[in-house]
Amino acid sequence: MATTRTATTQWKGALLDGSGTVSLDTSGVGTFEVSWPSRAEAANGKTSPEELIAAAHSSCFSMALSHGLAGAGTPPESLRTSADVTFQPGEGITGIVLTVQGQVPGITAEQFQEAAETAKANCPVSKALTGTMITLNAQLL
């Protein structure tokens, strides 16, 4: 069964001096302030499209990796994934670095790396971001 998730942004003003809010409508977990300075300079307590993409990517990748490892008979005890999304004004998103550390009994570092590469290739968010260079750093703890 397909699902649809919704977020809504309310924006006022021009790009450089305007601001807005983005609400996570489906879950209702929050409304967050956004602005050009929070995107292109310092966050200053506000979010950005890139931070929201990083959240989506790190959680999707973790789910895909967990599923793949469990399917191979080696479910993880824990995974910690961060996604660093780089934004260059005038150019756009120039790259994403996924960094994952995992505690997975019964596999080698090479097997963990292979499972992580498979998750990176098959995670739905990775697939949606195919126009962006995605780098992976995987470490078995």
Let me know whether 24 and 68 are in one domain.
Answer: no
Q: How many residues does the chain have?
A: 141
**Are 92 and 55 within one domain?**
yes
Residues 53 and 34 in one domain: no
Q: What is the reported pLDDT for 69?
A: 98
Torsion, Cα 140 68 137 134, to 10 degrees, reads 180
pLDDT tens-digit profile of 42-65? 999 999 999 999 999 999 999 999
Residue 3: per-residue pLDDT: 94
Is residue 2 one of the residues assigned to a domain? no
Q: Largest alpha-carbon pair distance within the chain?
A: 55
Residues 6+ apart with CB under 8 A from 110: none
Do 49 and 36 form a contact (C-beta atoms < 8 A)?
no
Q: Which residues of the chain have pLDDT under 50?
A: none
20 bridge partner residues = 11, 34
Q: Has residue 19 been placed in a domain?
A: yes
Place of tokens 């703890």: 141
Write the CATH number for 71.
3.30.300.20
Quick check: is 126 in a domain? yes
**Nearest CA among 53, 113, 62, 61 for reference residue 84:** 53
User: What is the model's pLDDT at position 27?
Assistant: 97
According to DSSP, residue 49 is labeled H
pLDDT confidence of residue 37: 95
Number of domains in the chain: 2
Q: How far is CA 96 from the centre of its chain?
A: 9
